[in-house]
Amino acid sequence: MKFIVYNVRDDEIPFIEKWGKDHGIEVKYTTTTLNQETVEEAAGFDGISCLQTIQYSAELFESFKRLGIKYLSLRNVGVDNIDLPAAKANGVKITNVPAYSPESIAEFAVMMSLYLSRKVGYMRQQLDQKHEFHFSPNFMGRLISEQTVGVIGTGRIGQAAIKLFKGLGAKVIAYDKYPLKNTDNSFVYAKSLEQIYQESDIISIHMPATDDNYHQFNHEVFEQMKDTAILINTARGSIVDTDDLIFALQSGEIAGAGIDTIENESADLQDSRSTKKVNDPDVLKMALMPNVLITPHSAFHTSEAVKNMIDISLGNLETMVNGKTPKDLVD
């Protein structure tokens, strides 16, 4: 039994090596992204572990079948970038890691909310551009406890975010297409998404990307939101129309945005060793805005999360190769 791990970051290597040693299984790792060319490196291996948001295409799964590879174990939650019918047609079983560390992403969403609520971007802009600092009316922020936070998606991450926002004294309202039957009275569900849009001072997105929510946040929605509202997206870039978001930020339709995921993320963005300069015009434009905090899909990135992602992903591969069904199987 031997596995290959793609798109490996430096901080993952110790956990990969330890897992292989502890389980007596050969595990090769590579920094390359998994695609039609690099999949050839997997010849002779029993399974692949991968972490990326670019596409896993039908052609890629045809290559899996040709190479005799039946198992793909993701180190992340989302499967919206996977051609699942093609995987099934080529006999490839897929697992994910649905709960590697909900608190890691939830904390990041709260951090972004605090940064934007307290106008830190405006302070940094003055320091960076003018090399001076003095009190300014533009620096006056708002307490989280003064605000209503709308959380969209009440899975593990959404629930962790709700707990943290509630801990800071916020009023929390939530929405989920499939609401929890028991909330322990820790929050209330809004009657509709429109209520979330219209009443929230901060909206934090924690739902998976689907065909139904593609560009859910667009010009029409931004018009419904308060002009003092902040949008936080640590979920998937496709949920937010980037062009409409930039217009909303520039025109004052909303007050700010924390963006950890953006549409059409490149492979370079996910390459921890890449020395290429960022050239995406939308990323560069938002990076210069004092009312935006944009980060390179890093909300998950804590030591606990990385360890869990490796351990669960490789554990799922071992389970499948041994002919058993892992609990994280994606149907």
Over residues 214-244, the pLDDT tens digits come to: 999 999 999 999 999 999 999 999 999 999 9
Same domain, 220 and 289: yes
Tell me 235's DSSP state: S
Same domain, 114 and 250: yes
The pLDDT value recorded for residue 188 is: 93
Residue 30: C-alpha distances to residues 8, 13, 159 (Å): 6, 10, 35
Angle, helix 102-117 to helix 120-130, in steps of 10 degrees: 60
Give a yes or no: residue 134 inside a domain: yes
pLDDT at 64 over 70: yes
Same domain, 152 and 213: yes
Same domain, 22 and 85: yes
Give a yes or no: residue 328 inside a domain: no
**Tokens describing residue 267:** 């492979």
The pLDDT value recorded for residue 18 is: 98
Show which residues are catalytic: 236, 265, 297
pLDDT top residue among 185 and 13: 13
Same domain, 33 and 160: no
Give the rounded percent of residues in the chain with a pLDDT score beyond 70: 95
Give a yes or no: residue 159 inside a domain: yes
Q: Which pLDDT band, with edges at 50, 70 and 90, does 269 fall under?
A: low
The pLDDT value recorded for residue 40 is: 97
Q: Which pLDDT band, with edges at 50, 70 and 90, does 293 fall under?
A: very high
Residues whose CB falls within 8 Å of the CB of residue 233, separated by 6 or more in sequence, listed in order:
205, 217, 239, 240, 257, 258, 259, 260, 261
Give the rounded percent of residues in the chain with a pLDDT score beyond 90: 84
Same domain, 141 and 29: no
Same domain, 165 and 266: yes
Give a yes or no: residue 327 inside a domain: no
Same domain, 117 and 146: yes
Same domain, 114 and 77: no
Over residues 117-160, the pLDDT tens digits come to: 999 999 988 887 766 667 677 789 999 999 999 999 999 999 99
Quick one: how far is CA 133 from the chain centroid? 34
Whole-angstrom Cα distance, residue 116 to residue 293? 7
Give a yes or no: residue 330 inside a domain: no
Same domain, 57 and 95: yes
Give a yes or no: residue 188 inside a domain: yes
Residues whose CB falls within 8 Å of the CB of residue 279, separated by 6 or more in sequence, listed in order:
none
The domain of 76 spans: 2-100+302-321
Whole-angstrom Cα distance, residue 197 to residue 33? 37
Pairing relationship of beta strands 2-5 and 26-29 according to DSSP bridges: parallel
The pLDDT value recorded for residue 189 is: 97
**Tokens describing residue 58:** 């039908």
Beta bridge partners of 171: 148
The CATH number linked to 193 is 3.40.50.720
What total of structural domains would you count in the chain? 2
Whole-angstrom Cα distance, residue 192 to residue 177? 10
Asked if 94 and 84 count as a contact pair (C-beta separation under 8 A), the reply is yes
Same domain, 141 and 286: yes
Range of lowest pLDDT (35-39, 63-67, 180-184, 244-248): 180-184
The pLDDT value recorded for residue 68 is: 97
The pLDDT value recorded for residue 19 is: 98
Residue 11: C-alpha distances to residues 27, 199, 203, 256 (Å): 16, 41, 31, 32
Give a yes or no: residue 329 inside a domain: no
Same domain, 92 and 161: no
Give a yes or no: residue 326 inside a domain: no
Asked if 168 and 118 count as a contact pair (C-beta separation under 8 A), the reply is no
Q: Mean of the per-residue pLDDT values for the chain? A: 94
